[in-house]
Amino acid sequence: MTTQKVDKILDRWKRDPQYAIEILQDIQDEHRHLPADVLHYVADALALPVGRLYHIGTFFKAFSLKPRGEHVLEVCMGTACHVRGAPRILDALSRELEVPEGGTTKDGKFTLEPVRCLGCCAIAPVVKVGKDLHGEIQAARVKTLVKKLAEG
């Protein structure tokens, strides 16, 4: 990420430290993670200790300090989904993408993440991709889902 882009985001939020979370959200949206050098740059620009930004970056699930894939597949591992086969879905996705839980594919297309209850237990088991919920998903459908996402 260029410093020009970071400066644009900082300017959008008037370089006001009270908008540190919003600034980090914009950086995350742009870059799909919070690179260490960018966190240091933002900390200097906002006159904040960089530790404060790392705290925000690790506290909120929406942020990641590691590069994430273009598509983040969140597999719900809550009780209802677990009972209805979420571990099989997670295994199938892990095999299909050839990444472990929490991993990102080498081509940067996909990140696989087990998550807590997504709040839509009636359609368990659930996989969330971006804002889209895929309910009552079966391990056999995983390949089709990945193919669709890869094709865009």
Q: How far is the CB of 106 from ligand FES (least distance, A)?
A: 29
With CB under 6 A as the contact rule, which of the stretches 11-19, 33-41, 96-104, 114-122 interacts with ligand FES?
114-122
Q: How far is the CB of 25 from ligand FES (least distance, A)?
A: 24
With CB under 6 A as the contact rule, which of the stretches 12-20, 53-61, 121-129, 138-146 interacts with ligand FES?
121-129
Q: Is 80 in the site for ligand FES (CB under 6 A)?
A: yes
Burial status of residue 15 (CB atoms within 10 A of its CB: 0-12, 13-18, 19 or more) = middle
Q: Find the residue with minimal CB distance to ligand FES.
A: 78
Encoded one letter per residue, x for contact with ligand FES by CB under 6 A and - for no contact, window 20-59 reads: ----------------------------------------
Per residue in 92-125, is it b (16+ CB within 10 Å) or e — as a string? bbbebbebeeebbbeeeebbbbbbeebeebebbb
Residues within the interface to ligand FES (CB under 6 A): 76, 78-81, 117-121, 124, 126
